[in-house]
């Protein structure tokens, strides 16, 4: 990512979104009274991929706007507004896709509930 952005700062901006997502995931597991199982770890990996993809979208678009001559604060606001729709679409599609797994109560459903939570 350093070679992609030609900077050592921007990869850290992307990577700092991971701990925030991990805290949220562990909080959701705690609220749902689920254990940290293999499926929960797989869900955590999926969440990390989604969060990093969203961060890359915003950082890349902000860098494009800064290259066009916009001030960094203005570029951040425009990038946040411009990339909100694709970020919400991918996040909501994953959330809606995981709802049946999270709400399942059948045989051995507790194994896979952590994946969705």
CA distance 6 to 21: 26
Token reading at 27 = 């909080």
Residue spans of the domains in the chain: they are 2-116
Token reading at 111 = 């194994």
What is the structure's pLDDT at 115?
Answer: 84
Q: Write down the pTM of the prediction.
A: 0.83
Average pLDDT for the chain: 90
CA distance 85 to 90: 9
| Architecture of the CATH domain 2-116 | Up-down Bundle (1.20)
User: Averaged over 1-17, what is the pLDDT?
Assistant: 86
Name the band, by pLDDT with cuts 50, 70 and 90, for residue 65. very high
What is the structure's pLDDT at 58?
Answer: 92
């Amino acid at each position: 990512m350093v070679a992609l952005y030609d900077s050592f700062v921007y990869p850290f901006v992307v990577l700092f979104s991971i701990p925030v997502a991990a805290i949220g995931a562990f909080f959701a597991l705690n609220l749902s009274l689920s254990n940290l199982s293999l499926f929960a770890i797989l869900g955590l990996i999926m969440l990390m991929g989604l969060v990093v993809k969203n961060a890359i979208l915003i950082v890349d678009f902000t860098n494009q706007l800064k290259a066009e001559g916009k001030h960094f604060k203005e570029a951040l606001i425009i990038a946040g507004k411009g990339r909100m729709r694709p970020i919400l679409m991918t996040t909501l599609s994953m959330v809606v896709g995981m709802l049946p797994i999270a709400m399942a109560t059948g045989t051995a459903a507790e194994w896979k509930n952590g994946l969705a939570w």
